[in-house]
Structure 1
Amino acid sequence: MGQPTLFCLATICVALLLSSKASGRGSGNDSLLYHHLFDNYDVELRPVAENTDILMVEMGVALTHIIDMHEKHQTLTASLWLTMGWNDTHLQWSPEEFGNFKTITVPSPKVWMPDIVLYQNVDPYFDGWSHRETYVKIHDNGYVLWEVPAVIVSSCHLDVSNFPFDTQACQLKFGPWIHSGFELVMRAMAENGSLEGFIQHPEWRVLYFKATANMIWYGEDFNIGTPYADVTFTLGLQRKSTFYVFNLLLPCLLLTFIMAVTFFLPINSGERLSFGVSLLLSMVVFQLVITEVLPESDKLPWIGRYVIITMILMSFSLAMTIFVMHVCDCTVSVEPLPKWVREVMLKRLAKVMLMGDLSKNLRTIETDDSSSKIELVNDISDLTDTLYANNSSVHCGLQKDVKLTDWYAFQTKMTSTLHDIERKVNDVLDIMRHHQRHRAYEKEWRSLAKVLDRIFLIMYILVAGACLVSFASNTSNEPG
């Protein structure tokens, strides 16, 4: 009984010893694998089997946040997750020899890194991503996966012709800076960039995020033409126009409408001119606000063009208001309207403007004045003729009491007095006719001013409406 017991105890001890050795060997497999990979690894050399081999680098970009789109500087600031992968022939192993380890994570400075940069980078403090203390994951087949978060500042050509209903396309071109297309080529990991973790921006809406691989020749101007590979991610953005519609476009339209309403104010009202000047100054303020937002470019946006055209229309309306007030204010010297003006403006155009025939007033007044003058003069002449016709009868009835010489003197004095009265009455009638004609001419000029004011109102409405329709049609035809 003792010998079997001792034999069992010895067997158990040997088994425990072997298991402890096996477990110790397994815990050191990662260290052994690390030394196996990097003891003779040269981080400076391109990881290919032959010097003529071309290394393939895969590129993927995930957009997480649009930090800023600066129209004035035409730059895009965004937060990205960059993913790159390539095959390193010097970092391969058999998992069975190292405890079935299929991946290992090491600091990025320990392995060769491609010199991938953003070609449109405008960040003065950018020094590359390969210098950062990040980690890479190495697979047993030599595939190296590198993931790094980054905040990029990229130049982006902005076309603000249809602001605030514009769409923009910003290109993010990633490629090697030193290695040419004979040494390194690039390929996108997917047809589109990732928007899975994207945080919605209050001003911009992402339409697409496409990825394309390119091979472009550079340096031909210096006689050193060399192809360079890159992966270009095109980010399509559409501006959310609600903020600008309510804060820029709608007030502009309201001011344009109010300027049209000023034509209904009395022509000779001084407040009409001052109110128009106030509206023009308001449009100048809107123009300054838009200028601060938009980049300095020769392509003026439609809203800027509309504001400028509206300012021109307002200036034109103010000038026409001054002209109409000058036409209406004719108190110093009044001349009759030319016949063609009366015929064209007061008769035909007034009917077209639904104002009726305004040329009838002066003809009625002139006819009434002429007829009243003829009747008064005839009455005075008839009275004088009657007095002379009844001279003999009066003489016969008064010859007993009055001497003939006294009667002739009385008759002569009476006749002279009647002629003086006739002249005085004619003078009064001439003054009255002059004032009536003056008032009639003034009324004609005021009627002409009303017709001109109505014409300018219709012109203002038509031009402003045409500009608005053209603005709306161009924004609706904008692609995207």
Structure 2
Amino acid sequence: MISIIKLLTLFIITVYCQSDDQKQEEAAIKKLRNNLFKNSSYDPMIVPVKNWSHTLNVHLSYNLIKIFDLDVNTNILTTEGWLLMSWTDQHLQWNPDDYDKISIIRVAPDEVFKPDFMLFNSVDVNTMKDNTIKTNMLLYSTGEIMWVPPVVLKSLCDVDLTNWPYDEQTCFLTFGSWTHDGLGINISDDCNISLEEYWPSGEWDILGTEVRRKDLYFTCCPEPYPEVSFFIKMRRKTTLYHYTVFLPVSTAVLLNLLMFWFAIHSNNRFLLSGLSLLLMTIILLYLGSRFGIGTDTIPFAIRYISRTILAIGLTLVWTTVAYNLLNMDIQVPDGIKRIVAPAEWIIKRSGGNMDSDTVNLTIDDQNVGYNNRQMKDKSLEIVITIIDRLVFVIFFIVIISMHL
């Protein structure tokens, strides 16, 4: 029983001492804040240097968290990250021994001077103002201030889609003071971009980053205007497009090549060629709606698909012409007959027998076409078949050459 009473007494004393220490610390912080902001007539609009000939050096870094989107229609890159800014306020320094060993306090952004950094290549002048969270700042006894606000940025990015979807894009974020020149606020040379907290994107892989700082000079003003740019080099992930674009395109091309192995008067030729043309047109419309008109470059994939559609359309035109020629009463000159006579085996190898299906609308028309072809000389069919094989070779060469 006595031991329990001792434990309770020790607990009460500990809680009382902690509460007393907390009150003492709070009183010291209030005293410090009064001396820093109220009694000293501190003005957050004045650059915090004691000598106006001195420059306020600001360290600026960017911690990239997420790449939300790179819109190829509007050339807008949307990212989320943390801006890390630090500088020394010479008007906000104190001796920790005078304030219960307090060496750091939290202050609101509106209480102290902060650099008026803006995103120069922003698509909206209110981007940083509306999307920057007003987190507290850390103020140290040395006067050093550290501010790490999370911010969503929308910046312009020149997109080159020539090699889509194997394209690589380099975008940048350029920051600088909006109203101060380099003699008032200078951006230090040790700026950097960090990927330690980066969350991988579903569409982009980051290949590398780079930081470039430079001083700008204008004809109106002799003072330097420093700015820093954070470059992000990205490469598009292509796995999805292998299934949604390249596999259907390859299938359509193979179907059109397969068409040539059917007899000219077979329904299968029109079916396969028409299906290939429809499939390629749907893919082209999909890509056209995806890219829109926001880019000056036309992807090689769209050029390839467009030319392939033209080639498939020409083969369909040839099939229609060849089919109608077979149903016409055309006399082949004797000289051509002697040339193509040894090539009769082509007809047999191509499956071009007279019992194949035709595209006549009625059974009577089909029978009439069949009887007409039975009475005709085989030389015309041999000539057309030879031309058809040449068209196959030309189509195959065109498709291959467009890959090179």
The question of a shared fold, defined as TM-score above 0.5 by the shorter chain, is answered with yes
The CA deviation at 1:58 is 0.8
Residues 130 and 51 from structure 1, CA distance in 2 versus in 1: closer, same or farther, beyond 3 angstroms?
farther
Q: Determine if contact 2:259/2:273 at 8 Å carries over to the other structure.
A: yes
The one-character-per-residue Cα deviations of 1:21-55 (angstroms, maximum 9, x if unpaired) are 99987653322222222232111111122223222
Q: What CA distance in whole angstroms lies between the structure 2 residues aligned with 1:239 and 1:196?
A: 21
How many residue pairs match? The answer is 358
Select between 202-211 and 26-35 the one with higher mean Cα deviation. Answer: 26-35
The one-character-per-residue Cα deviations of 1:51-89 (angstroms, maximum 9, x if unpaired) are 232221111111112222222222121211111011211
Q: What CA distance in whole angstroms lies between the structure 2 residues aligned with 1:258 and 1:23?
A: 80
Say which SS state the counterpart of residue 28 (structure 1) adopts: helix
The one-character-per-residue Cα deviations of 1:365-399 (angstroms, maximum 9, x if unpaired) are xxxxxxxxxxxxxxxxxxxxxxxxxxxxxxxxxxx
Q: What CA distance in whole angstroms lies between the structure 2 residues aligned with 1:441 and 1:24?
A: 113
Q: What CA distance in whole angstroms lies between the structure 1 residues aligned with 2:21 and 2:242?
A: 74
The CA deviation at 1:246 is 0.6
Task: Give the corresponding residue for 1:28.
Answer: 27
- Where does 1:441-480 land on structure 2 (aligned, <5 Å)? 442-468=377-403, 470=404
Q: What CA distance in whole angstroms lies between the structure 2 residues aligned with 1:347 and 1:60?
A: 81
Q: What CA distance in whole angstroms lies between the structure 2 residues aligned with 1:182 and 1:68?
A: 37
Residues 127 and 81 from structure 1, CA distance in 2 versus in 1: closer, same or farther, beyond 3 angstroms?
closer
Task: Give the corresponding residue for 1:299.
Answer: 297
Aligned equivalent of 2:340, options 346, 351, 357: 346
- Where does 1:19-58 land on structure 2 (aligned, <5 Å)? 28-38=27-37, 39-40=39-40, 41-58=42-59
The one-character-per-residue Cα deviations of 1:399-430 (angstroms, maximum 9, x if unpaired) are xxxxxxxxxxxxxxxxxxxxxxxxxxxxxxxx
Q: Determine if contact 2:132/2:149 at 8 Å carries over to the other structure.
A: no
- Where does 1:79-158 land on structure 2 (aligned, <5 Å)? 79-123=80-124, 125-126=126-127, 128=129, 133-158=134-159
- Where does 1:51-450 land on structure 2 (aligned, <5 Å)? 51-123=52-124, 125-126=126-127, 128=129, 133-187=134-188, 189-191=190-192, 193-217=193-217, 220=219, 223=220, 227-296=224-293, 297-330=295-328, 332=329, 334-337=330-333, 339=335, 341=336, 346=340, 355=346, 442-450=377-385
The CA deviation at 1:449 is 0.7
Select between 200-209 and 247-256 the one with higher mean Cα deviation. Answer: 200-209
The CA deviation at 1:130 is 11
Say which SS state the counterpart of residue 248 (structure 1) adopts: helix
Q: What CA distance in whole angstroms lies between the structure 2 residues aligned with 1:182 and 1:245?
A: 54
Task: Give the corresponding residue for 2:12.
Answer: none
Q: What CA distance in whole angstroms lies between the structure 1 residues aligned with 2:54 and 2:377?
A: 98
Residues 227 and 314 from structure 1, CA distance in 2 versus in 1: closer, same or farther, beyond 3 angstroms?
farther
Q: TM-score, normalised by structure 2?
A: 0.80
Residues 320 and 95 from structure 1, CA distance in 2 versus in 1: closer, same or farther, beyond 3 angstroms?
same
Q: Determine if contact 1:136/1:144 at 8 Å carries over to the other structure.
A: yes
Say which SS state the counterpart of residue 461 (structure 1) adopts: helix
Q: What CA distance in whole angstroms lies between the structure 1 residues aligned with 2:164 and 2:221?
A: 42
Q: What CA distance in whole angstroms lies between the structure 1 residues aligned with 2:126 and 2:48?
A: 29
Q: What CA distance in whole angstroms lies between the structure 2 residues aligned with 1:131 and 1:269?
A: 68
Q: What CA distance in whole angstroms lies between the structure 2 residues aligned with 1:217 and 1:119?
A: 16
Q: What CA distance in whole angstroms lies between the structure 2 residues aligned with 1:124 and 1:22?
A: 47
Q: What CA distance in whole angstroms lies between the structure 2 residues aligned with 1:254 and 1:67?
A: 33
Q: Determine if contact 2:106/2:138 at 8 Å carries over to the other structure.
A: yes
The one-character-per-residue Cα deviations of 1:442-470 (angstroms, maximum 9, x if unpaired) are 311111111111111011111111222x2
The CA deviation at 1:132 is 5.6
Say which SS state the counterpart of residue 315 (structure 2) adopts: helix
Greater helix proportion: 1
Say which SS state the counterpart of residue 300 (structure 1) adopts: coil
Q: What CA distance in whole angstroms lies between the structure 1 residues aligned with 2:54 and 2:244?
A: 59
Select between 148-157 and 265-274 the one with higher mean Cα deviation. Answer: 265-274
Q: Determine if contact 2:287/2:302 at 8 Å carries over to the other structure.
A: yes
Counterpart residue type for residue 32 of structure 2: L
Q: Determine if contact 1:107/1:136 at 8 Å carries over to the other structure.
A: yes
The CA deviation at 1:167 is 1.2
Counterpart residue type for residue 322 of structure 2: V
Counterpart residue type for residue 241 of structure 1: T
Q: TM-score, normalised by structure 1?
A: 0.68
The CA deviation at 1:238 is 1.2
Q: Determine if contact 1:57/1:85 at 8 Å carries over to the other structure.
A: yes
Q: Determine if contact 1:337/1:445 at 8 Å carries over to the other structure.
A: no
Q: Let me know the Cα RMSD of the aligned residues.
A: 3.0
Q: What CA distance in whole angstroms lies between the structure 1 residues aligned with 2:402 and 2:237?
A: 23
Say which SS state the counterpart of residue 457 (structure 1) adopts: helix
The CA deviation at 1:93 is 2.0
The one-character-per-residue Cα deviations of 1:234-290 (angstroms, maximum 9, x if unpaired) are 111111100011111110111011111111121122442354233212211111100
Select between 172-181 and 316-325 the one with higher mean Cα deviation. Answer: 316-325
Q: Determine if contact 2:217/2:224 at 8 Å carries over to the other structure.
A: yes
Residues 347 and 158 from structure 1, CA distance in 2 versus in 1: closer, same or farther, beyond 3 angstroms?
farther
Q: What CA distance in whole angstroms lies between the structure 2 residues aligned with 1:326 and 1:466?
A: 31
Residues 453 and 25 from structure 1, CA distance in 2 versus in 1: closer, same or farther, beyond 3 angstroms?
closer
Q: What CA distance in whole angstroms lies between the structure 2 residues aligned with 1:113 and 1:62?
A: 19
Residues 338 and 128 from structure 1, CA distance in 2 versus in 1: closer, same or farther, beyond 3 angstroms?
farther
Task: State which structure, 1 or 2, has the greater radius of gyration over its C-alpha atoms.
Answer: 1
Identify unmatched segments of 5+ residues in structure 2: 1-19, 348-372
Q: What CA distance in whole angstroms lies between the structure 2 residues aligned with 1:112 and 1:77?
A: 28
